[in-house]
């Protein structure tokens, strides 16, 4: 940063405790503060609501969330009790299945299905519409 090659620093996939630690350390040592964080955030992965989002709002850290469609899970291409379509993300990367293929994930998908049937909107439209405004007030 002293040479001007790095203007801002950020991180990805950190929890609230990691961000808090980095902010405290930067303040106590006179280093540059973390400017942004990139967490996954969608109807299934909402863990950041408990600590990371409130901390970032308070400390004015930008949140640039990713995976609003849950790696494709919230598009409707995966269904409980059905085979995983060949060549899809969860077929190619089966280690990611436990992130979404559980009771809470299927329940979220069921609620999304019900909302789509009620409104006539697509699952993708609803999932994106849910995720986008939740971080819009944060400085990026």
Q: CATH number of the domain that 119 lies in?
A: 3.20.20.100
Supply φ then ψ for residue 53, to 5 degrees.
-60, -45
pLDDT by 10s per residue, the chain, length 140: 677 788 889 999 999 999 999 999 999 999 899 999 999 999 999 999 999 999 999 999 999 999 999 999 999 999 999 999 999 999 999 999 999 999 999 999 999 999 999 999 999 999 999 988 766 544 43
Rounded to whole angstroms, the Cα distance separating 65 from 120 reads: 26
Identify whether the C-beta of residue 105 lies closer than 8 Å to the C-beta of residue 80: no
The pLDDT of residue 38:
95
Counting beta carbons within 10 angstroms of the beta carbon of residue 101, is it exposed (0 to 12), middle (13 to 18) or buried (19 or more)? middle
Query: Which structural domain range is residue 14 located in?
Result: 10-134
**Reduced to 3 states, what is the DSSP secondary structure of residue 94?**
helix
1 domain-assigned: no
28 domain-assigned: yes
124 domain-assigned: yes
Which two three-digit tokens encode residue 90?
Answer: 């969860």
103 domain-assigned: yes
Rounded to whole angstroms, the Cα distance separating 47 from 120 reads: 29
The pLDDT of residue 140:
39
Supply φ then ψ for residue 132, to 5 degrees.
-60, -50
139 domain-assigned: no
Domain count, the chain: 1
127 domain-assigned: yes
The pLDDT of residue 19:
97
The pLDDT of residue 136:
52
16 domain-assigned: yes
2 domain-assigned: no
DSSP structure class, residue 110: H
Q: How far is CA 19 from CA 27, 95, 127, in A?
A: 12, 26, 27
> pTM for the whole thing?
0.86
């Amino acid at each position: 940063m002293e040479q001007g090659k790095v203007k801002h620093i950020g991180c990805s996939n950190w929890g609230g405790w990691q961000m808090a630690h980095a902010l405290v350390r930067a303040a106590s040592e006179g280093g540059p503060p973390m400017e942004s964080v990139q967490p996954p955030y969608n109807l299934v992965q909402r863990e950041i609501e408990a600590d990371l989002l409130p901390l970032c709002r308070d400390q004015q850290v930008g949140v640039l969330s990713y995976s609003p469609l849950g790696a494709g899970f919230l598009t409707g291409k995966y269904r409980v009790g059905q085979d995983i379509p060949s060549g899809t993300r969860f077929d190619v990367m089966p280690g990611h299945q436990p992130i979404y293929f559980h009771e809470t994930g299927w329940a979220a998908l069921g609620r999304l299905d019900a909302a789509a049937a009620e409104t006539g909107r697509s699952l993708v439209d609803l999932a994106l519409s849910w995720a986008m405004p939740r971080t819009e007030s944060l400085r990026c």
